[in-house]
Amino acid sequence: MEQFTVEATLRDERGKNAARRLRQTGRIPAVVYGGKEEPLAVAVNAKQVASILRSESGRNTIFTLQVAGVGEKKTIVKDLKVDPVKGTLLHVDLMRVAMDVRMRVRVPVHTFGEPAGVKLQEGIFEIVTREVEIECLPGDIPDEYRVDVSGLMIGKHLRISDLPLDPQKIRLVTDAQRVIAHVVAPRKEEEVVAPEVAVAAEAAPAEPEVIKKGKKEEEGEEAEGEAEEK
């Protein structure tokens, strides 16, 4: 496994303006915590952290943090904040790692192969779970889990319990029955049945009776004339 080192300096200034000035120098604010020591505010080299995140082990990479004037410490990226537009790192949380203490991590799950249910039965392949949470010693953290899905037929699936986990070193945290991937039958388009045309006499609503105003006025005048004659 490739060894990484990240350079850091203690950080005194806080706030958005200080963080902005820090990023202009190629560094980003970070906090180191965990273990029996107090949290430490530092500034780390952004490019070095980015190279770790792009590595095969990604966020599960254990690396050496060199803090000027303080010393070295094994750490791991616990959380991060990324600019939603530029995609650049804005802040990272680093956790101190004790090599003899078990820890919980999430490991990516990748599939390979063409499912037989897709190739022979025209089924649809769906990935349901892309990572698994485990507990183990830092030195036993796997980079990833790869599973072959070429034998999957329609109605068949792979579960977390199918992963090649070493029970002597790794304890599964994620539900073992959770589905990783499966092949389902293609969804049939529902036939749209046109409604029957109803008989006009039954469908047409009864028209309301309309009394013409002119006729009503004429009837009123005639009544008045008869009254005068009498």
Q: Could you tell me which residue, 195 or 170, shows the higher pLDDT?
A: 170
Where in the chain is CATH 2.170.120.20? 104-184
Write down the pLDDT at residue 1. Answer: 55
211 φ, ψ to 5°? Answer: -100, 120
Give Cα 70 to chain centroid, integer Å.
37
Sign of the Cα torsion 79, 2, 96, 163 reads: positive
CB 53 within 8 A of CB 6: no
pLDDT at 204 over 70: no
Q: pLDDT, tens digit, for every residue of 174-187?
A: 999 999 999 999 87
Helix/strand/coil (H, E, C) string of 9-23? EECCCCCHHHHHHHH
pLDDT at 19 over 60: yes
pLDDT at 36 over 90: no
Write down the pLDDT at residue 215. Answer: 46
CB 66 within 8 A of CB 7: yes
Cα distance from N-terminal residue to C-terminal residue, the chain:
122
pLDDT at 226 over 80: no
Q: Could you tell me which residue, 227 or 123, shows the higher pLDDT?
A: 123
Write down the pLDDT at residue 20. Answer: 87
Which one of 2.60.120.480, 3.40.1180.10, 2.40.40.20, 2.170.120.20 gives the CATH number of domain 104-184?
A: 2.170.120.20
Domain 5-97 has CATH 3.40.50.2300: no
Where in the chain is CATH 2.40.240.10? 5-97
pLDDT at 81 over 80: yes
CB 26 within 8 A of CB 47: yes
